[in-house]
Chains A and B, each alone.
Chain A
Amino acid sequence: MAFILAFIPIGLILVLMLGLRWGAARAGGVGYLSALVIAILYFGAGPVLLAFSQVKALFLSLDVLLIIWGAFLLYMVADEAGAIRTIGRSLPHLTADKGMQALVIGWAFASFLQGVGGFGVPVAVIAPILVGLGFTPLAAVIIPSIGHGWGVTFGSLGSSFQALISSTGLPAAVLSPSSALFLSLSGLVTGLMVAHAASGWQAVRRLLKPVLALGIVMGVTHYFVAVAGFWNLATFIAGVSGLLICFPLARRYRPKPDANLSNNDNDPLDPRALTLALSGYAVLVLIILLVQFVSPLRVFLGQISFQVAFPELITDLQFVTPAATRSLYIFRHTGMQLFYASFFSFIFYKMAGLYHRPRPAACILSGTLRKVMSSSVSIASMVSMAVIMENSGMTATLAQGLASGMGQLFPLVAPWIGALGAFMTGSNTNSNVVFGALQLRTATLLGYLPAIILAGQTAGASLASVIAPTKVVVGASTAGMAGQEGEVMRKLLIYTIPLVLLISLFTYLGVWISSW
């Protein structure tokens, strides 16, 4: 009974978005309302618990929304200057093949962005570029979403992996080999899926060699960097290595012309225009790298933070959420880095004379405001729902139900628990925080090697985080598909379910091999 009730909010969202094709904002509202009612009536959530949950949700929402607002602003700054159109016209000169463009931008570049930024930035930045290149809006969201999923655990400078270490108390040396192996292997499969999402099975066959080359280079780099102890740089360095071989690979790879190729022979490459157009994104990468690696700057930007202390919360059913303090380092937040990039890019584009309409700043700001509102509401509702479920014990009930119901098949289920956590909270990090200890406890009870089960947890969460409604909203809205999130999620599920199944298989095999 408790399991069924705990599942209702998620089930409703799935049915409304996937079945009835509602937008995320409306479905999120229903999910929130149902979670609230069930938490109060069945799970014994009192007013104080609900109040602190709502504040916590506001904090988490701001964490995500800053990135969405910043990404949109940067996109509008570039679009108003004609930069997106210029990139769209210029990149086919590198490779005219749509599938190869998808691999370069939607896989290697997306992995790089996940390594340095994360938190939805890869999809928010790349989807509009792909639309500009002539991809359908749906494909423009799907490609970078799949392309960066394998790098989430060790991306964002390892924040999700750090959460796994913190929640389980196990050292990185124990956790990293199996986690890195599972994700590196799945990375190769994501490459094939990116090719498929770009141009179908024909592209998978045609692009097998570049996918293998890129996948092996990025995967091997990812694995060895993580195992060598530099796990916080694994996705970043894998992304850089991918980009380094991507460009010569794209130039060497000259497919036969077919219907999928863009014909740009009559549109000569203008290096100056392309450099100017790319400068906005170059500024973004430069700012992210400076903030991450220049310690004095990082310390300076981290001087001002919002810190909110949350007391221990207990439901009437005695489910306890430990006391915690949440911090928001506003000026070095990834979203703020997008705002800095937007500001400097605007000045740069303005000095270069790329704005032709009067009062470009007003046009950019009003355009941004119009586009972000739907996403902002849906994220506020869905994060509220997730936090209420977490603090009232609904999430734990779901996880325990899944684990106890499966018994000896638990290794197959562990990645799905991680995936469920990522789907609900929109984050691999949050999934590891919520389910890390539970997975460790269950693995120990059932006599499985914890490192393998936890690798399944974080890899499942990493790959499934791309279908989290919050991320889908980001991708859909940046590609001009706001209100059609159900369609995006439906398509993403086609790629994500086999990936999580693959991780289930790896986990099962890992447990089997380790039992010898």
Chain B
Amino acid sequence: MVTLLRHWLSRNKHIVHLIAFLLIVIPSAALYPVAQQEVVTWIWVLIFVIILGNILVVSLD
């Protein structure tokens, strides 16, 4: 299953990159109003999504 997933990921790099890019960019934009109001819980949630985007890219071969 993991092998199949890795195979799919490496064959569709541009789609994975697009998903990772959106996971980084959209939460980054959403962070501005959240940071202004200092809503710490939402800040960590959004940063976690950005971290996921980066992990997704790193996991690509």
CB-contacts of A33-49 with B (<8 A): 33, 36, 47-48
Say yes or no: A374-B17 contact (C-beta < 8 A), given A36-B51, A51-B46: yes
List A residues 294-338 near B (Cβ within 8 Å).
308
- Can you list 29 A-B contacts with CB-CB less than 8 angstroms, sorted by A residue number? A25-B17, A25-B57, A26-B58, A26-B60, A28-B57, A29-B54, A33-B54, A33-B55, A51-B35, A51-B43, A51-B46, A51-B47, A52-B31, A52-B35, A54-B47, A54-B50, A55-B28, A308-B32, A370-B14, A373-B17, A373-B18, A373-B21, A377-B17, A377-B20, A377-B21, A377-B53, A378-B57, A380-B24, A384-B50
The reply to whether A57 and B58 contact each other, CB–CB distance below 8 Å, is: no
Asked if A339 is at the interface (CB within 8 A of a chain B CB), the reply is no
Considering the chains assembled together, what is the distance between the CA atoms of A26 and B57 in angstroms? 6
- Given A55-B32, A58-B25, the answer on whether A29 and B44 have CB atoms closer than 8 Å is no
The distance in angstroms between the C-alpha atoms of A58 and B31, with both chains bound, is 10
B2 within 8 A of A: no
Interface residues, chain A, with chain B CB atoms under 8 Å away = 25-26, 28-30, 32-33, 36, 47-48, 50-52, 54-55, 57-58, 61, 308, 369-370, 373-374, 376-378, 380-381, 384
Query: For B25, what are the chain A residues with a Cβ–Cβ distance below 8 Å?
Result: 58, 61, 380
Give the residues in chain B near A369, CB-CB below 8 Å.
Answer: 14, 18
Nearest-neighbour CB distance to chain A for B57, whole angstroms, equals 4
Q: Name the A residues within 8 Å of B29 (CB-CB).
A: 55, 58
Interface contact B57-A29, CB-CB below 8 Å? yes
In the bound complex, how far is the Cα of B45 from the Cα of A50, in angstroms? 12
Known: A48-B35, A48-B43. A30 touches B24 (CB 8 A): no
**Ranked 8 nearest A-B pairs via Cβ:** A51-B35, A373-B17, A29-B54, A58-B28, A29-B58, A47-B43, A51-B31, A29-B57
Bound state CA distance, A147 and B58, in angstroms?
32
Chain B residues contacting A373 (CB-CB under 8 Å) are 13-14, 17-18, 21
Judge whether B57 and A376 touch: CB under 8 Å: no
Which B residues are in CB contact (< 8 Å) with A48? 35, 38, 40, 43
- Contact assessment for B58 and A30 in the assembled complex, using a CB-CB cutoff below 8 Å: yes
Map CB proximity to A onto B5-41 as digits: 1 under 8 Å, 0 otherwise: 0000000011001101100110111011011001010
Chain A binding surface SS class? helix
Expressed in whole angstroms, the minimum distance between the Cβ of B13 and any Cβ of chain A is 7
With the chains together, A247 CA to B19 CA distance in Å?
47
Identify 19 new A-B residue pairs, CB closer than 8 A, beyond the known A374-B17, A377-B21, A381-B57. A25-B57, A26-B58, A28-B57, A29-B58, A32-B54, A33-B55, A36-B47, A36-B51, A50-B43, A51-B35, A54-B27, A55-B35, A373-B13, A373-B14, A374-B14, A377-B17, A380-B28, A384-B24, A384-B50
Query: Do the beta carbons of A50 and B47 come within 8 Å of each other?
Result: yes
A32 cross-chain contacts in B, Cβ below 8 A:
54
Query: Which residues does chain B contribute within 8 Å of A384, judged by CB atoms?
Result: 24, 28, 50
Q: Tell me how far the C-beta of B21 lies from the nearest C-beta in chain A, rounded to whole angstroms.
A: 5
**B3 vs chain A, min Cβ distance (A):** 19
| Chain B minimum-CB-distance residue to A61 | B25
Contact B47 A47 (CB under 8 A): yes
For B21, list chain A residues within 8 Å (CB): 373, 376-377, 380
Nearest CB of chain A from residue B55's CB, rounded to whole Å: 7
Q: Which residues of A contact B47 (CB under 8 A)?
A: 36, 47, 50-51, 54
Residues from chain A with Cβ under 8 Å of B31 in the complex: 51-52, 54-55
Measured between alpha carbons, how far is A384 from B28 in the docked complex, in Å?
Answer: 10
Residue of B whose beta carbon sits closest to that of A16: B58
Cα A30 to Cα B25 with chains together (Å)? 17
- Give complex CA distance A308, B31 in Å: 12
Name the residue on B nearest A381 (C-beta). Answer: B54
A377 to B50, CA, bound (A): 11
Instruction: Please name all residues of chain B whose beta carbon is closer than 8 Å to the beta carbon of A25 when the two chains form the complex.
Output: 17, 57, 60
Please, which residue of chain B has its CB at the minimum distance from the CB of A25?
B57
Complexed CA–CA distance, A374 and B15 (Å): 10
Residues from chain B with a CB closer than 8 A to the CB of A374 are 13-14, 17
A308–B28 Cα distance when bound, in Å, is: 13
Complex Cα distance, B38 from A50, in Å, reads: 11
User: Contact between B51 and A33 (Cβ–Cβ < 8 Å)?
Assistant: yes
Question: What A residues does B27 contact at CB under 8 A?
Answer: 54
